[in-house]
Structure 1
Amino acid sequence: MSGFDLSPFLSRLLAPSSPSGCSPVCESIHEFAEAMGHAIDAKDRCTHFHSTQVAVLAQAVARFMGFSPLEAGCIHIAGHLHDIGKIGVPDAVLQKRGPLTEGEFAAIRRHPVIGHQIVSPITSLNGSTGIADMVLHHHERWDGRGYPHGLAGTAIPAGARVLAVADSFSAMTQQRPYRKGMGVRAALDEVEREAGSQFAPDVAEAFLRLAAPLLRDGAEPGASAFIERVERRFAG
């Protein structure tokens, strides 16, 4: 395989050929990624559907920001796979009730690298699609204080910057053994506060603008209902 650039071939395989924005091969990759995401979420009852939520939100934000259907589709796949590296984290750490020790937190912080090691040998998830790099860098911060490489600003892959917001919103609104999940509005307020520090400002702004029309009826939906609204309006 050496010496050949597979990027044009992969682009044709993954290019949209239907109104859904996905070719048959792309759809199969999506299904595989979704199944892997479910498998990881099943390791911890508190993160049920987390990967699906991240995938839906990230794709919606990407489309809202003007990413191409192909780019948004790759971000969607990366959303399903972003936590696949947690397969290498002990269940006792993932399911621990209470604060983590320094060593346990270090184990958690390894999951993006483990995830990258898992998906990068798969040609369609590496190279021009950028999916493997999104998995690797979804915990980087705009201010450079994230992990695993401490990238900052636009050095962080664009898809990973989108995933960071979607991942954090889903995590904030889900119940954990050591805390209650935030309401939708409180989580959106946190996204706004962290714009320019944890989150890329343009991604945070896009997420807030995307969310605003979905909350104008006065009543605050639960997180799952809110994400379903997002999916119907932007990711379908």
Structure 2
Amino acid sequence: MKKHLELFETGRPYPRPRINGCGKLISTIHQFSESLGVAIDAKDAYTRSHSVEVAEVSYALAVWLGLGAREAILVHIGGHLHDIGKIGVPACVLNKQGHLTPGEWEVMRRHPQIGEAILMPIHEIVKTGLPKMVLHHHEAFNGKGYPLGLSGYSIPMGARIIAVADSMSAMLGRRSYRPAKTFDEVLEELEKFSGSQFDPRVTAAALRHSSQIKEIFQRLAEEENAVHHNKISLIKRAGMGEC
């Protein structure tokens, strides 16, 4: 853990990345990934700050699992980018009220491959392994995931970490066809699917540090609510939205 002390904010019960200590290239890639993550969250009505949640929880998990400083930062960036392929998914599918049809589900399942294709022309990003994290974040530990059906440790470590953070964020969010789960219910799901959907080492880390992860989600929700409140106040002061 000591090797990360220069790269995350201290004084908190969980690690937060400090990108400025990672060099100009990684810092630039991070800024790029944050912007794309915000764009994706804006397109999907149900995910609002999803990419930020996945990025922060993924980073914390990477640190707790003992990844090196650079590797943990790259997993954090992968969390921002994991759903970039949803740019290629029609809004009528992303924001559909109710369950997807089999055909719509096939369209949705293409987003990891679309995301990889978006990143592959950027050679410096390819060198980091980020396209493979994006491509494989929906693989399952037992080989029953997608798009390639990889299993176990053939799935990149970053993708296995992002899969857990992604699922936690998704379960805590409301969808048109189901209410949001409680945090305790999310932990029960992680334990239930450990070793089948999820890497058991990653789920063990998440369960062991569940109180810290809960604080991450709570802080991000408070920050998002504050930003939303400020936007509404600005609109009212400007007289926008009035007939």
Q: Is the 8 A contact 1:113 1:136 kept in 2?
A: yes
Distance in 1 between residues matched to 2:81 and 2:153, nearest whole Å: 22
Q: Is the 8 A contact 2:116 2:135 kept in 1?
A: yes
Deviation of 1:58 after TM superposition, in Å, equals 0.4
CA deviation digits over 1:129-180, x for unaligned, max 9?
Answer: 1110000000000000000000000110111000100000000001111111
Distance in 2 between residues matched to 1:29 and 1:169, nearest whole Å: 25
Residue aligning to 1:224: 217
CA deviation digits over 1:59-115, x for unaligned, max 9?
Answer: 100000000110011111111010000011110000001111111000000000000
Q: Give the 3 Å change call, closer, same or farther, for CA 37–222 of structure 1 in structure 2.
A: same
Residue aligning to 1:62: 62
Deviation of 1:118 after TM superposition, in Å, equals 0.2
Deviation of 1:22 after TM superposition, in Å, equals 2.1
Instruction: Trace 1:67-216 onto structure 2 (pairs within 5 A).
Output: 67-127=67-127, 129-212=128-211, 214=212
Distance in 2 between residues matched to 1:66 and 1:48, nearest whole Å: 30
Q: Give the 3 Å change call, closer, same or farther, for CA 228–42 of structure 1 in structure 2.
A: closer
- TM-score (structure 2 length as normaliser): 0.80
Residue aligning to 2:38: 38
Q: Is the 8 A contact 1:56 1:227 kept in 2?
A: no
Q: Structure 1: any 5+ residue segments left out of the alignment?
A: 1-15, 216-220, 230-236
Deviation of 1:223 after TM superposition, in Å, equals 7.6
Deviation of 1:226 after TM superposition, in Å, equals 6.1
Distance in 1 between residues matched to 2:131 and 2:193, nearest whole Å: 25
CA deviation digits over 1:200-219, x for unaligned, max 9?
Answer: 0001001111114x49xxxx
Q: Is the 8 A contact 2:56 2:216 kept in 1?
A: no
Q: Is the 8 A contact 1:40 1:86 kept in 2?
A: yes
Q: Is the 8 A contact 1:85 1:112 kept in 2?
A: yes
Runs (4 or more) in structure 1 with deviation over 4 Å come to: 226-229
Distance in 1 between residues matched to 2:143 and 2:46, nearest whole Å: 29
Equivalent AA in structure 1 for residue 63 of structure 2: R
Distance in 1 between residues matched to 2:47 and 2:85, nearest whole Å: 14
Cα RMSD (Å): 2.0
Distance in 2 between residues matched to 1:222 and 1:25, nearest whole Å: 30
Q: Is the 8 A contact 1:64 1:206 kept in 2?
A: yes
Equivalent AA in structure 2 for residue 119 of structure 1: L
- TM-score (structure 1 length as normaliser): 0.82
Q: Number of matched residues? A: 206
